[in-house]
Chains A and B, each alone.
Chain A
């Protein structure tokens, strides 16, 4: 993620290190990042965090995949719960299995 936190002691040397850490070099989240950073640049320090919240959350999601992982966990837990409750048999415990090398 872009280095968006302003350091306590801002000098020209810390400014030099600011563009070093970004996802702009061949990263799947580079579009999300550049949109968020552009938005922040347009709205500034005070309005930015409010106006660009969705973009920030999307960037977060792209980097950490929180929602997707929670979804996967919830589905696995639901499957286990159904098996324990007796709604699901051991033969059809699992759903569709992907074909090899299809990812």
Chain B
């Protein structure tokens, strides 16, 4: 049995030196070349965009606007029609509903018109709650939320 103790020592010739020098990545382009390439690439893509893509976008935008403008009169007319029809339906419903209430006149409150000084034929549109008077309350709440009206 070997009784001698083996002391741990540096390897022969000493330790390796610590590498502390910078080790930068290899650069392919620098300075002027890089700038020139950037300008060239940007120029090419911009040229391509404005000559081949942007006209299509403009065309699409014009199409959309035209379609919107073409359908708008019809939509507005439909809106007005539905509005007036519902006003008429409300009047009829009030007549039917309050038939048994004594002293009730359609379109009046306590026998007085809503606006005294206005001409009799002036159309005063209903409030939102009046518009949804005969409808479920939940419908009115939804509409008020949609219109951002504080109830």
Say if the beta carbon of A4 comes within 8 Å of chain B.
Answer: no
Contact partners of B116 in chain A: CB under 8 A: 54, 57-58
A103 touches B143 (CB 8 A): yes
Q: Given that A54-B117, A78-B97 are known contacts, is A97 also in contact with B127, CB under 8 Å in the complex?
A: no
Contacts of B129 in A (CB 8 A): 69, 72
Q: CB of B126 within 8 A of chain A?
A: yes
Q: Give which listed residue, B117, B127, B134, contacts A35 with CB less than 8 A.
A: B117
Write out the residue numbers on chain B whose beta carbons fall within 8 Å of the beta carbon of A75. 94, 97-98, 133-134
Among A10-18, A19-27, A40-48, A60-68, the one that faces the other chain is: A60-68
Q: Flag whether A55 is at the interface (Cβ < 8 A).
A: yes
Does A96 have its Cβ within 8 Å of any Cβ on chain B?
yes
Contacts of B118 in A (CB 8 A): 58
What would 20 A/B residue contacts be, using CB atoms closer than 8 Å? Answer: A58-B118, A61-B114, A62-B115, A67-B112, A69-B127, A71-B109, A74-B98, A75-B97, A78-B98, A94-B134, A94-B135, A95-B135, A96-B86, A96-B89, A97-B134, A97-B139, A98-B86, A98-B131, A99-B82, A101-B79
Residues of A contacting B93 with CB < 8 Å?
A: 95-96
Count of A-B contacts with CB under 8 A?
82
The answer to the question of B130 belonging to the interface, with a C-beta cut-off of 8 Å to chain A, is yes
Residues of A within 8 Å of B, CB-based: how many? 29
Interface size on B, residues (CB 8 A): 32
Q: Closest B residue to A95 by CB, please name it.
A: B134
Shortest Cβ distance from B78 into A: residue: A102
**Is the Cβ of B135 less than 8 Å from the Cβ of A97?**
yes
Tell whether B101 is near chain A: CB-to-CB under 8 Å.
yes
Contact B131 A70 (CB under 8 A): no
From 11 to 27 in chain B, residues with beta carbon under 8 angstroms from any chain A beta carbon are none
